[in-house]
Chain A
């Protein structure tokens, strides 16, 4: 049984989606029950996977027992297991929140969210690049429909741009894979790493393939010239959908991290692939997003810009090959994901209470919801990186890990300045939402929150405190994950086993 642990995070939501579609006639309560049971099982399976991955080696699961490089494998290291657990927790919270009524604003919400989880988990777990493409598409197709869930012209308009952009991205992904297969003759990541290391002088095509792959991941991660879609799409999506979407930029970032550490950095042909251009673009992304946050008219827009700030911050960390930097980035990734998702939910709850004013930053009625203000305060303080919270620790670790790099001055300035801008934006607008009262507006609408949504918001806000309280074990785990990530030999040996000496290859013209 334990050797099948790697596939469980994919199978559980997949089975749940099939069951939900079969049980469509039994009403929404059955769908919700199936979804919540699947989410609970998913969290258990992911925790088990983290525990297993933390025992040391890379778990390799050969689908259909076809050994790599011929078959498709799932490869679970600490990083993959951590991302799987994060996705499971986030999707559980999104599902809980949606179960309070959002799921009835359109059709097929429950199967779609489960399929989105299938795609996300698969993208983190797979060790094969074409399989990664397939899981990306599963994730994207579900996200296209989820983005439009609830209807309205704003969602359709944002959805159209989002779909078209990602279809173009998929085309580029396929071109990159075709070039990679054409030059190296393999699409298994570990095998690609080995082939890249033994490449002869004529490696222009392989480099082009690798950089196209990075460009596709950068589109998902929303690096600056490719990031204009993000604020519009995320702000237009419904709150639980937007909360789940927060992890999608992280898929791009983790993919870059993985291909860079395992395949590109150790090979001489592609070692300098990220040098020179990624750092300025990542810094520009952070500044651009911080300015966007300052100008945002609504809380959900501001949160979408916050997602972009954290994506830019993580992209800065990708430039540096030191395990210490990656470890800090992983800790920052965890907290920034939870916090942004929490803010999306808070924005929706505020909007619901203010009626026509929505979550626009205008003075309005008194909300009579101190817990909501508290949730906002915790999430916002962690998002800008104020002391006792996880955001502060994440930023501190990242800044101190980057202290010795040559570009430390620029990075410190940009990160701290962006933090200041975010603090201004959140303090000014948070005060306006929760404190400033205008006598002209009618009373706030009293909406009971319900246990679903209360648990969902608690689940997403509490990491701001818990990750700070248990910073030592979490940071240690992140450090172990980063160390493992930067030892590609162990990964390659685990995936290819004894095969990698004996595989016969014909030379390609």
Chain B
């Protein structure tokens, strides 16, 4: 399972970085979204992977680390807000310049 998760994170990061380097704002937004998915998975994995274990500490029972789950939740909320704002900003740039290039040239 570790290998599968590692490959998934790596693939998401690679696609995210590739899309971020594209010149259009749409692929930029998609790239950042993929990157934040990769980061969230990575954070989640930092508490070690456990199967069938609740994030509760009880005597004798196996448990998983609850802290990374809380961190991931925070990161997801923040990432979601940021992406929403970025989309609005990209739309505004498109409206003002008539072009969705990241360098938003003046309307000619």
Contact = CB atoms under 8 A, between A and B. Distances in A.
Binding site of B, secondary structure by majority: helix, strand, loop or mixed?
A: helix
Contacts of B92: 148, 156
Given A164-B20, A167-B32, A148 B46 contact: no
A164 B28 contact: yes
A148 B82 CA distance: 14
Contacts of A208: none
Contacts of B39: 171, 174-175, 178
Contact of B106 (A153, A160, A182): A153
B25 to A, nearest CB: 7
A265 to B, nearest CB: 25
Interface in A127-176: 130, 134, 137, 141, 144-145, 148, 153, 156-157, 159-161, 163-164, 167-168, 170-171, 174-175
A157 B81 CA distance: 20
Contact of B46 (A157, A164, A167, A181): A181
Interface in B89-104: 89-90, 92-93, 96-97, 102-104
A141 B82 contact: yes
Contact of A157 (B35, B71, B78, B104): B104
B75 A174 contact: yes
A177 interface: yes
Interface residues of A, number: 28
A493 B85 CA distance: 41
A508 interface: yes
Interface in B50-108: 67-68, 71, 74-75, 78-79, 81-83, 85-86, 89-90, 92-93, 96-97, 102-104, 106
A156 B93 contact: yes
A179 interface: yes
A202 B38 CA distance: 25
A509 interface: yes
A509 B20 contact: no
Given A174-B43, A178-B42, A160 B104 contact: yes
Interface residues of B, number: 37
Count chain A CB atoms within 10 A of each CB in B82, B86, B93, B106 and give the residue with the most: B82
Count chain B CB atoms within 10 A of each CB in A156, A508, A509 and give the residue with the most: A156
Contacts of B38: 171
A355 to B, nearest CB: 21
Contacts of B75: 174
Nearest to A180: B46
Given A137-B78, A160-B90, A181 B68 contact: yes
A156 B104 contact: yes
Given A137-B78, A175-B39, A508-B48, A157 B85 contact: no
Nearest to B42: A178
Contact of B82 (A157, A167, A177, A182): A167
B35 A168 contact: yes
Contacts of B46: 178-179, 181-182
B88 to A, nearest CB: 9
Instruction: Please list the 8 inter-chain residue pairs (A to B) with the smallest Cβ-Cβ separation, ordered nearest first.
Output: A182-B46, A178-B46, A178-B43, A157-B104, A174-B39, A156-B93, A181-B46, A153-B96
13 contacts: A141-B81, A141-B85, A153-B93, A156-B92, A156-B93, A157-B97, A160-B25, A167-B82, A168-B32, A171-B35, A174-B75, A178-B43, A181-B46
Interface of B: 20, 25, 28, 32, 35-36, 38-40, 42-43, 45-48, 67-68, 71, 74-75, 78-79, 81-83, 85-86, 89-90, 92-93, 96-97, 102-104, 106
Interface of A: 130, 134, 137, 141, 144-145, 148, 153, 156-157, 159-161, 163-164, 167-168, 170-171, 174-175, 177-179, 181-182, 508-509
Given A141-B82, A156-B97, A164-B86, 12 more contacts: A163-B82, A163-B85, A167-B83, A170-B78, A177-B43, A178-B46, A178-B68, A181-B46, A181-B67, A181-B68, A182-B45, A182-B47
